[in-house]
Amino acid sequence: MTANPLILDGNRVAADIKDQLAGRISRLAEKGITPCLATILVGDEPASATYVRMKGNACNRVGIRSVRIDLPRDTTTEKLIAVIQQLNEDPGVHGILLQHPVPHHIDERAAFDAISMEKDVDGVTTLGFAQNAFGFASFPSCTPAAIMAILEYYQLQISGKHAVVIGRSPILGKPVSAMLLNKDATVTTCHSKTTELEHFVRSADIVVAAVGKPKFVQGNWIKPGAVVLDAGYNPGNIGDVDFESCLPFASAITPVPAGVGPVTIAKLLKHTVDAAEKNLD
């Protein structure tokens, strides 16, 4: 058991990131440039629609123009890629976000890879993944970038620590594993085929939960003093970590909501501003 664990406040970290954007957005405005994020939503899945709305509202609050493209559920891969290509060619659009997941009949990887590298502000392309693995991505995947931002903001040590990542998705588990490794952590990536998962988690100094199952990580899995980062978001505002049971063991832990989520959106905004500034080069 640990006394008085640190609650890692994502709203606080996100506010710090957004504060640093204000002056940059003003300087772009002086040059006649308004950063613009185009978001594509295929279908009408309620959770995805909510995420898109939240991202649009966040853009509007900081002075980023938000363009939303809604496509019917029966949109083909070819039609979706054609829409992405139009946005790639639009000089007024600086960032493109394809809301994940898309309907199953669409080749999601082909659609992601159709996004121009210069506009891949969500870090979803194959080339972007490779750059992230080598440690020089302009736009790393936003949720992994948010996790790293939280660790940095609270000055939590990564170098030399054993990090266990639960999840191996190409836009969360795999990239955050690479980012932790690049910061000199020893990383174990676990997944649905991992046997004796609890054994690996109990050895971790840093636990990243990105498995997509509500309250999956239990308190008796947590090594006393570990840092726990919950990247899950399930119906009912429930994370992948059983917060109450993990709280007594963790030295620091993110809540859900108000943990990784707000920082993910703040990183998306930052990347969009970064992309707009590249137009000045």
pLDDT (tens, 9 = 90+) of the chain, 281 residues, equals 666 899 999 999 999 999 999 999 999 999 999 999 999 999 988 889 988 999 999 999 999 999 999 999 999 999 999 999 999 999 999 999 999 999 999 999 999 999 999 999 999 999 999 999 999 999 999 999 999 999 999 999 999 999 999 999 999 999 999 999 999 999 999 999 999 999 999 999 999 999 999 999 999 999 999 999 999 988 898 999 999 999 999 999 999 999 999 999 999 999 999 999 997 76
122 classed as catalytic: yes
Residue 167 to residues 73, 99, 193, 233, 260, Cα–Cα distance (Å): 27, 19, 10, 13, 16
Which of 18, 99, 161, 242 is an active site residue? 99
d(CA 251, CA 279): 43
Q: What is the pLDDT of residue 26?
A: 96
Q: What is the pLDDT of residue 125?
A: 97
Which of 120, 122, 205, 242 is an active site residue? 122
Domains defined along the chain, listed by start: 32-119 (3.40.50.10860), 141-261 (3.40.50.720)
240 classed as catalytic: no
Q: What is the pLDDT of residue 281?
A: 61
For residue 262, cis peptide bond before it (omega within 30 degrees of 0) = no
Decide: pTM greater than 0.85.
yes
Q: What is the pLDDT of residue 55?
A: 95
Cα-Cα-Cα-Cα dihedral sign, residues 174, 43, 261, 275? positive
Q: What is the pLDDT of residue 2?
A: 66
Residue 56 corresponds to which amino acid? G
d(CA 84, CA 39): 10
Which of 55, 119, 161, 174 is an active site residue? 55
Q: What is the pLDDT of residue 135?
A: 94
Cβ-based burial of 168 (10 A; exposed 0-12, middle 13-18, buried ≥19): middle
99 classed as catalytic: yes
Q: Which two tokens stand for residue 120?
A: 């891949």
